[in-house]
Amino acid sequence: MGLKPPGAGITGEAKCKRKIGPGFFTLLRCELLLALRRQSELVNPLLFFVTVLALMPIGIGPEPELLTRLAPGLIWVMALLATLLSQEALFRGDYEDGSLEQLALLPQPLYFAVSAKILIHWLVTGLPLALLSPLLGLMFNLPIAGYLPLAFSLLLGTACLSLIGSIGAALTVALRRPGLLLALIIMPLYVPVLIFGSGAVQAALDGYGYSMELAVLAAILTAAGALAPLAAGAAIRISLDH
């Protein structure tokens, strides 16, 4: 699919982005307003996250020791799946209404537009998951020592998931049903985040320090923050040219 000339096929959300201009903060504000209008996209990942975790104690048994032992891994796996559930829609709406092509034609680097979209994705998916972590810890009989590392690891880790997932979302944006392919592309890249995120909580529960795990997550976040928008922008241009 080739690039369209400016002004062609601009509807709905594309008009909003075209009207406010190409600045990063104006794009950020527009993306936030558009995200707040898509109620289902906001609620579905959170609903999936909370519902599945609420059913886990019923499936594996109500034993407090068992729940405590499984809590770090289960919470992190569900956070990963909830993020993956919303990742497909990251660029989908913009691709379908033509605004993604208009962003690619702007003189400014696509890096800033992609960064704005990733940041909004984290604000409406990853941040709420981190804020819900005390409630989830209570459901799984998590000791008080695990609450702080759980919240911090989810704050850092979900941001990493949004950044890494943007690359797969950009590569598959032109496909009709990219769900399985998207999962196959980005799931291996999610594994280090999952290991160190759940490891931070487990280390705290075992009475050890967890600063090393959080430091690794922060390093992954720094690297992903610098490189993922560049890779996603290049992937978007490749997808638009075919």
Domain ranges of the chain: 22-240
| pLDDT the model gives residue 89 | 79
Q: How far apart are the first and last CA of the chain?
A: 4
Measured CA to CA, the distance from residue 5 to residue 61 in angstroms comes to 59
Q: Is the pLDDT of residue 193 over 90?
A: yes
The 8 Å CB, 24+ separation contacts for 26-32 are 27/112, 27/113, 27/116, 28/116, 28/119, 28/120, 31/116, 31/117, 31/120, 32/120, 32/123
Residue-wise pLDDT for 43-53, tens only, equals 777 777 778 87
Measured CA to CA, the distance from residue 227 to residue 45 in angstroms comes to 26
| pLDDT the model gives residue 27 | 75
Tokens (6 digits) for 66: 């068992």
| pLDDT the model gives residue 156 | 95
Measured CA to CA, the distance from residue 65 to residue 63 in angstroms comes to 6
Tokens (6 digits) for 224: 């992903």
Tokens (6 digits) for 195: 């290991």
> CA–CA distance from 14 to each of 31, 91, 93, 235 (Å)?
11, 12, 9, 20
Residue with tokens 């559930």: 85
Single pTM value for the model: 0.81
Measured CA to CA, the distance from residue 216 to residue 237 in angstroms comes to 31
137-164 as b/e: b if 16+ CB within 10 A: bebbbbeeebbebbbbbbbbbbbbbbbb
* Nearest residue to 225 via CA among 132, 150, 133, 122: 122
Q: How confident is the model at residue 93 (pLDDT cuts 50, 70, 90)?
A: confident
Residue-wise pLDDT for 151-162, tens only, equals 999 999 999 999
Q: Is the pLDDT of residue 194 over 90?
A: yes
Return phi, psi of residue 215, to 5°.
Answer: -65, -40
